[in-house]
Structure 1
């Protein structure tokens, strides 16, 4: 039994996917690419047309009620891809049914809800993880190696920038949840990608401040109540600083830029450039390409999601903890809550 409280298994895992929206094809591809390790055995969506289309294509049962999928005897793991406000109740139901669970981030919309789910999973002895792709981005994996081997040294400054256009999603009547509270929000949905990376790579965040912007009203989405722009800055326990910039209504392809400036070296990653990652040894070095990182501006995100699916399946099968734990998920939501607290208080610095 490992620290997550579960034992490994030898046969292929039966995977049930709950929610067949825009992000589901990439997740399904990830699990379908693991023959002998995992098998998609059931799917579910409240839209009968979606459920029927996917279930027919895969040759598996399709449901419109998640409780029916969870009652399917062949389902070992639930992959939950639902609007954020539904994460807590559906994850809770899956855990209660004895299923291992991975859910699209965030785990829940508050740290308190995350804690409830963590306690329930521990008591039930099942794996609880979050499908957080940033943990599996190829360039970030290489950057983590630089940090672990001391080639960057003490971290002075970290900068992250996520940008793209969410106008079509925010305006889509079939995805109205995205422009409502706790929907496709710059902090809760996008900045949390970076918060996972901060926990993975650096010392704990001790304080932060945040401001937000609502651009959607100028892009034909007048009813949107979520922020689509945000800037979060803060400080690590060791004294280093970080900034996270999110802009979800820019006329550029979806991309991420991640920069680390240390005492011994620096590295810059940009998913839309070639090369993607450049390492700088000192102030006189104009940079060298970080080896082992492919340039794939269209497919880098999907590839990282596939790696995440493989890690989750292999964690359950082997009995080890997944790379992205429920504690990581609770930490990301804690930072998001602190950022929103700062926004409500006028952008002041708050303790985490």
Structure 2
């Protein structure tokens, strides 16, 4: 089996998730290649100790990401750093000839995303993808396959949502996602937008105009030093877009909420159509719901238990449940499969063009949310 050697830039939560997925690659069956993490980088040296303790393959640690890029033994990079650093680091990774799986949103704003795109265009030999793991849940794949089969018919409405609840606590210490200079003016849309845009964009549903309702409920939080700091970014965003269709336009509703009472980390996708409808939520990870309708017939939702049905085969028995760590590993399997010349199991990771389109949507949504107007989405770049 081919080995693809990785470096990690950013040794926080998601860096550790990738390391865990790579360490248990034996969980997967019939893969063309496997990842091996040989280098890690973080400004906080203490974070790298976890990697050197748990991964004997790591031979390089550094606080300067350029050291990883200069290492000829490294084939690809996973980069998980705050949004403000994307436009600086991502182009350097690509220019160095390293394949890249980068965290969303691929730039803090549209201008930064354009700079990243320019670097990608200059190196067509480098594979670049954007992290988005939730569509790899089996139930999500069932909804996607249902739509692709034509079972939906004329679409009535699509809703995609990613909901958190932890920020409902006003005493939660502030983090960088509340700093507009680090997170960007998109606020919650920047960090969660690719999660809700990935599948609609993959299925060809591009809104031509949007209206956004943006909510800033908590204006300041504890700074962790005994004082208070301003919360500069949006808590919640509900975007309603109009998707052109030859069979009649339909609304696309995108929800990115950090204050969603009772929700822990819920991703959902609902597609309603004249002939069929489908729904999946990570709150019920082993199930999906669907309805198939004929004129004059009954309208009955069906619920199917899926168990463990992954895009890339695994040793887990089909009776068991699929979870977040599995979705992360499936996403990585798709990326590694592409690097090895495969088709990513028929569902590749989010592409730079999809990241670009989602920036166009979020740019229009931000303008709409601050003006109160319906704003056209400009895809002309």
Do Structure 1 and Structure 2 share a fold, with TM-score over 0.5?
yes
Instruction: Tell me the equivalent position of 1:5.
Output: none
Given the alignment of the two structures, is residue 341 of structure 1 paired with residue 340 of structure 2, yes or no?
no
Q: Structure 2: how far apart are the matches of 1:198 and 1:216?
A: 30
**For residues 259 and 294 of structure 1, do their structure 2 counterparts lie closer, same or farther at Cα, with a shift above 3 Å needed?**
farther
1:210, 1:231 within 8 Å by CA — same for their partners in 2?
Answer: yes
- CA displacement, residues 169-228 of structure 1 (integer Å, 9 cap, x when unaligned): 99446xx32211152932111133111111012432111110211123377575211111
User: Which residue of structure 1 aligns with residue 191 of structure 2?
Assistant: 189
Q: CA deviation at 1:299?
A: 6.2
Residue 106 of structure 1 is matched in structure 2 by: 105
Aligned to 2:331: 308
Q: 1:21, CA displacement in angstroms? A: 1.4
| Residue aligning to 2:253 | 243
1:23 to 14, 35, 51: 14
* Partners of 2:6 and 2:76 within 8 A in 1: yes
Q: Distance in 2 between matches of 1:206 and 1:245?
A: 17
Superposed displacement of residue 257, structure 1:
2.6
The answer as to whether partners of 1:51 and 1:62 remain within 8 angstroms in 2 is yes
Q: Deviations over 1:144-173 (max 9, x none)?
A: 111111111121101233222243899446
Output aligned runs, 1:113-152, within 5 Å: 113-124=112-123, 125-152=125-152
Q: What is the correspondence of 1:159-238 to structure 2 with a 5 Å cutoff?
A: 159-167=159-167, 171-172=172-173, 176-181=175-180, 183=183, 185-217=187-219, 222-238=229-245
- Distance change >3 Å, CA 114–CA 351, structure 1 → 2: closer
What is the Cα-based RMSD across aligned positions, in Å?
A: 2.7
Question: Is contact 1:158–1:243 with CA below 8 Å preserved after alignment?
Answer: yes
Deviates more, 1:27-36 or 1:154-163: 27-36
Would the alpha carbon gap of residues 116 and 218 (structure 1) be closer, same or farther in structure 2, given more than 3 Å must change? closer
Please say if residues 139 and 269 of structure 1, whose CA atoms lie closer than 8 Å, have aligned partners that are also in contact. yes
Q: Whole-Å Cα distance in 2 between the matches of residues 177 and 219 of structure 1?
A: 12
Match of 1:257 among 264, 268, 272: 268
Distance 2:130 2:351 in 1: 7
1:89-100 matched pairs, under 5 angstroms: 89-100=88-99
Shift in Å, 1:231:
0.9
Inter-partner Cα distance in structure 1 for 2:218 and 2:264? 17
Report SS of the residue matched to 1:305: helix
Q: Is the 8 A contact 1:79 1:102 kept in 2?
A: yes
Residue of structure 2 equivalent to 1:158: 158
Which whole-Å CA distance do the structure 2 matches of 1:235 and 1:170 have between them? 38
Q: Measure, in 2, the Cα distance between the counterparts of 1:328 and 1:51.
A: 32
Indicate the structure with greater helix content: 1
| 2:341 match | 318
| Runs of 5+ consecutive residues of structure 2 not aligned to the other structure | 27-32, 223-227, 310-318
Query: Residue in 1 aligned with 2:55?
Result: 58
- Structure 1 distance, partners of 2:64, 2:127, is 22
Q: Is the CA contact (8 Å cut-off) linking 1:42 and 1:55 kept in structure 2? A: no
In 1: Cα distance, 2:327 partner to 2:373 partner: 33
